[in-house]
């Protein structure tokens, strides 16, 4: 073999070895969900770049086992302990450490990894996301409920651990991209856009007849069931306002929502000098996820390019709070601050679950959340209404859930 060819081959091998050595470690909490699956779809196209440390799921042992065989993590955890035997059997002979229960999820979040995707849905994501943040690595935060329920505590923990938190939610990710290190003092207002959900044109009477299959099918964004229902009630946008309040340290008066049915502009930043900066992209969650996976670099994706000529026009309108009262409830909770967002989130999770179980109707979701939020003075007695420690957050959340369950029984 010619010297030159040998040298080139050696170089290729060295380059490959170097690439392999520098593969970035990555864990995914909520790997079987919508965000988890989109993350792994990107990872699959970048296998030379990432090495999976840990994967988690709650119930879906079969899918988790399948992911383990494909991505070969060091560790996998399933939240629901009854599913553990199934997971163990499916992965017999594989060299993967397995665990179950909340402890298993926390262990997955605690395993050292350069990047952790926090994509568990709901309040259940709080403890594992908090454990991930404490590592001080890059946390790609999809789980918004942890910021709504425990925003101040969460942000303080992240700051203390010097954790870089990258928002996955497309609107917050857009704003993060726009700001790109700009001082927060430059910001006059932040606007989150909303598609308006599947029922944007529905009358009150039509909204009252919305069924679970109707509410779980978003016209633009394919997502998990809970966030799809939240998007249909516009509670999702309310939760996102609270999320933005903490992520970008803005007072409630500087945050608002604009309905933009095409979902091409994801976030707008109004600056003090009168300039308005917007971020645009095809509505595809793989774009903000790829941003987080690549940060500070950009990863290529095979997402459809944005074709503005084909789209033709971009429309905007104010949200209709009369037909979608959940948005106003969230704004009220944001303005009240303290434990109010924790109560809002707990009541909403119970209301959404009750709607999914067909115990209450679609328009009873805001009724229930409003009733529980009205009990704030009574709930404030729980741990003095403070949400400064995880124990206080858990106590307030659990008491709000208890009251919400009582209200479900009354409404049902």
Where do the H-state alpha helices sit in 248-282? none
User: What are the φ and ψ backbone dihedral angles of 410, each rounded to 5 degrees?
Assistant: -65, -45
- Angstrom distance (rounded) from CA 156 to CA 151: 8
Burial code (b: 16+ CB inside 10 Å, e: under 16) for 220-229 equals ebebbbbbbb
Widest distance between CA atoms in the chain: 84
Name which position in 45, 59, 262, 328 contacts ligand NDP (CB under 6 A). Answer: 59
CB of 21 to ligand NDP, least distance (A): 30
Q: Answer yes or no whether residue 140 interacts with ligand NDP by CB under 6 A.
A: no
3-state secondary structure of 38: helix
Q: Which of residues 324-363 bind ligand NDP (CB under 6 A)?
A: none
Name which position in 27, 39, 129, 143 contacts ligand NDP (CB under 6 A). Answer: 143
Looking at the Cβ atoms of 43 and 124, the one nearer to ligand NDP is 124
Q: Which of residues 215-234 bind ligand NDP (CB under 6 A)?
A: 221, 223-227
CB of 230 to ligand NDP, least distance (A): 7
Cα–Cα distances in angstroms (integers) from residue 106 to residues 54, 58, 102, 128, 144, in the given order = 11, 13, 6, 5, 18
> What binding mask, one character per residue, do residues 166-185 give for ligand NDP by CB under 6 A, x or -?
--xx----------------
CB of 357 to ligand NDP, least distance (A): 16
Residue of this chain nearest to ligand NDP (CB atom)? 33
Which residues are CB-neighbours of 94 under 8 A, at least 6 positions away?
68, 69, 72
Name which position in 27, 121, 233, 332 contacts ligand NDP (CB under 6 A). Answer: 121
Name which position in 26, 27, 35, 257 contacts ligand NDP (CB under 6 A). Answer: 35
The first and second tokens of residue 20, run together, are 């392999």
User: What are the φ and ψ backbone dihedral angles of 134, each rounded to 5 degrees?
Assistant: -65, -20
Looking at the Cβ atoms of 29 and 376, the one nearer to ligand NDP is 29
Where do the H-state alpha helices sit in 161-253? 170-179, 204-208, 212-215, 225-233, 235-247
Looking at the Cβ atoms of 39 and 250, the one nearer to ligand NDP is 39
Name which position in 26, 27, 36, 109 contacts ligand NDP (CB under 6 A). Answer: 36
- The H or E element spanning position 305 is none
CB of 194 to ligand NDP, least distance (A): 13
Contact 183, 249 (CB under 8 A): no
The first and second tokens of residue 163, run together, are 């954790």
Q: Answer yes or no whether residue 60 interacts with ligand NDP by CB under 6 A.
A: yes
Contact 345, 125 (CB under 8 A): no
**Preceding amide of 379 cis, omega within 30:** no
Contact 27, 113 (CB under 8 A): yes
Q: Answer yes or no whether residue 145 interacts with ligand NDP by CB under 6 A.
A: yes
- Angstrom distance (rounded) from CA 196 to CA 257: 10
Looking at the Cβ atoms of 51 and 145, the one nearer to ligand NDP is 145
Binding segment for ligand NDP (CB under 6 A), chosen from 52-60, 252-260, 320-328, 357-365, is 52-60
Q: Answer yes or no whether residue 79 interacts with ligand NDP by CB under 6 A.
A: yes
Q: Which of residues 244-273 bind ligand NDP (CB under 6 A)?
A: none
Which residues are CB-neighbours of 3 under 8 A, at least 6 positions away?
none
Name which position in 42, 53, 96, 124 contacts ligand NDP (CB under 6 A). Answer: 124
C-alpha angle 81-87-90 in degrees, rounded to nearest 5: 160
Q: Answer yes or no whether residue 57 interacts with ligand NDP by CB under 6 A.
A: yes
Looking at the Cβ atoms of 38 and 364, the one nearer to ligand NDP is 38
Binding segment for ligand NDP (CB under 6 A), chosen from 54-62, 178-186, 318-326, 363-371, is 54-62
Residue 405 CB neighbour total at 10 angstroms = 15
CB of 222 to ligand NDP, least distance (A): 7
Looking at the Cβ atoms of 349 and 407, the one nearer to ligand NDP is 349
User: What are the φ and ψ backbone dihedral angles of 125, each rounded to 5 degrees?
Assistant: -80, -10
DSSP single-letter state for residue 234:
T
Binding site for ligand NDP (CB under 6 A): 30-36, 57-60, 79, 105, 119-121, 124, 142-145, 168-169, 221, 223-227, 285
């Amino acid at each position: 073999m010619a010297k030159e060819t040998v040298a080139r081959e050696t170089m290729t091998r060295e380059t490959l070895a170097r690439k392999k050595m520098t593969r970035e470690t990555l864990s995914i909490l909520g790997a079987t969900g919508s965000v988890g699956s989109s993350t792994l779809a990107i990872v699959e196209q970048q296998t030379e770049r990432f090495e999976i440390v840990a994967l988690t799921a709650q119930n879906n042992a079969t899918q988790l086992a399948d992911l383990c065989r494909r991505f070969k993590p060091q560790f996998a955890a399933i939240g629901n302990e009854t599913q553990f035997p199934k997971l163990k059997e499916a992965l017999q002979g594989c060299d993967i450490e397995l665990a179950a229960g909340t402890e298993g999820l926390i262990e997955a979040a605690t395993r050292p990894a350069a990047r952790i995707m926090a994509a568990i849905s709901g309040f259940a994501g709080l403890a594992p996301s908090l454990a991930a943040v404490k590592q001080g690595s890059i946390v790609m935060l999809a789980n918004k409920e942890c910021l709504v329920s425990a925003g101040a505590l969460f942000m303080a923990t992240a700051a203390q651990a010097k954790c870089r938190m990258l928002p996955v939610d497309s609107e917050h990710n857009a704003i993060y991209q726009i700001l790109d290190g700009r001082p927060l003092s430059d910001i006059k207002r932040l606007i989150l856009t909303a598609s308006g959900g599947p029922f944007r044109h529905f009358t009150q009477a039509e909204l009252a007849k919305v069924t679970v299959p109707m509410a779980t099918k978003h016209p633009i964004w394919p997502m998990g069931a809970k966030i799809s229902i939240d998007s249909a009630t516009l509670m999702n946008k309310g939760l996102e306002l609270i999320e933005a309040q903490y992520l970008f340290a803005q007072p409630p008066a500087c945050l608002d929502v604009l309905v933009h049915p095409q979902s091409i502009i994801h976030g707008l930043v109004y600056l003090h000098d009168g300039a308005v900066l917007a971020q645009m992209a095809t509505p595809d969650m793989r774009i903000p996820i790829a941003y987080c996976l690549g940060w500070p670099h950009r990863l290529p994706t095979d997402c459809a390019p944005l074709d503005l000529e084909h789209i033709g026009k971009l429309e905007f309108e104010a949200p209709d709070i009369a037909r979608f009262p959940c948005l106003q409830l969230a704004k009220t909770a944001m303005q009240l601050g303290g434990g109010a967002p924790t109560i809002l989130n707990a009541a909403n999770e119970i209301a959404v679950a009750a709607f999914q179980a067909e115990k209450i109707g679609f328009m009873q979701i805001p009724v229930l959340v409003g009733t529980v939020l009205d009990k704030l003075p009574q709930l404030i007695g729980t741990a003095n209404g403070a949400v400064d420690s995880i124990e206080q957050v858990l106590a307030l959340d659990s008491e709000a859930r208890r009251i919400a369950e009582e209200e479900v029984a009354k409404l049902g």
